[in-house]
Amino acid sequence: MLPLLLTVLLAGSTGFFLLKKEGFGFWGNEESKKSEGSPIKEIRLAILGPSSSGKTTLFHYLTEGKILKNPDPTSLTGEKIKEKIIEQDNKRIKLLSTEDIPGSESSIMAYCENLIIKSDFIFFIFNCYLFQIDEKYCLTTKAFIDFVFRHNNNKRVILIGSHVDKLHNQQDSENSRRKDTENIINILLPEFEIDKIREIELVNLTSSKEISNLKSMLFK
Ligand SMILES: Nc1nc2c(ncn2[C@@H]2O[C@H](COP(=O)(O)OP(=O)(O)OP(=O)(O)O)[C@@H](O)[C@H]2O)c(=O)[nH]1
Ligand SMILES: [Mg+2]
């Protein structure tokens, strides 16, 4: 069973339950643009989240196909990400140029709003281990998520809880991953509507298997 499937939450009278689906559904039934044979989608992606959550790691993997060993914290001025075509399953995605920004508070103030406006959809990455054990990290992350929702103009936001490998000994265990997902949702639920936080995925971004599954979800 694939460890990395998008978790979708459905609200019910007794709370919520989790369903799994295989991809982000970008391709759906709609006719994608065709160029040179295979369908191509153009996406401008914003990757936001607190410091050291894995934004640069994910950008680098998506664009270069490699996991950085020891990425430097992104500088205050941010880094340009050049347009790049990525391919899988005879489908292509043109990742339009964007910016990798640091997770510091000053960068949120300086760049976030503009980046959200320009982008088609948003990955919000946070460290799901710290989120559950460090109250300050949890509070600042929730404030950041709230900022994104207040500025996102109904653009799709996908929450990604990184560092899942730091949680007990679960590694790939489907059950414990589901429990942690539920726990994180329960922490978020008092402040956010279920509809806004229903797309959430926990992942170890340093595992080539897991980060490549995450990338695959862009093509499904
Ligand atoms: N164990 C583990 N380490 C991770 C994971 N994701 C990222 N890291 C590590 O966390 C550190 C920070 O990763 P970055 O990609 O630089 O994080 P960032 O969000 O770009 O950080 P800033 O640019 O400073 O905001 C690096 O050492 C990564 O290797 C994960 O899922 N598990
Ligand atoms: Mg970075």
CATH of domain 6-25+39-219: 3.40.50.300
Position 59 scores a pLDDT of 97
Q: How far is 56 from 184, CA to CA, in rounded Å?
A: 23
Cα of 125 vs centre of ligand 1, distance in Å, is 10
| 74: nearest Cα among 57, 62, 61 | 57
pLDDT tens digits, one per residue of 85-123? 999 989 999 999 999 999 998 888 888 999 999 999 999
What mean pLDDT comes out for the span 205-218? 96
Q: How many residues does the chain have?
A: 220
> Would you call 132 exposed, middle or buried from its count of C-beta atoms within 10 A (0-12, 13-18, 19+)?
middle
Position 2 scores a pLDDT of 43
| 142: nearest Cα among 179, 192, 196 | 192
Cα of 55 vs centre of ligand 1, distance in Å, is 7
Q: How far is CA 94 from CA 51, 86, 118, 187, in A?
A: 27, 6, 15, 35
The residue extents of the domains of the chain are 6-25+39-219
Stated pTM of the model: 0.92
Residues with CB under 6 A from ligand 1: 49, 51-57, 70-71, 73-74, 102-103, 162-163, 165, 204-206
Give the model's confidence band at 178: pLDDT under 50 very low, under 70 low, under 90 confident, else very high: confident
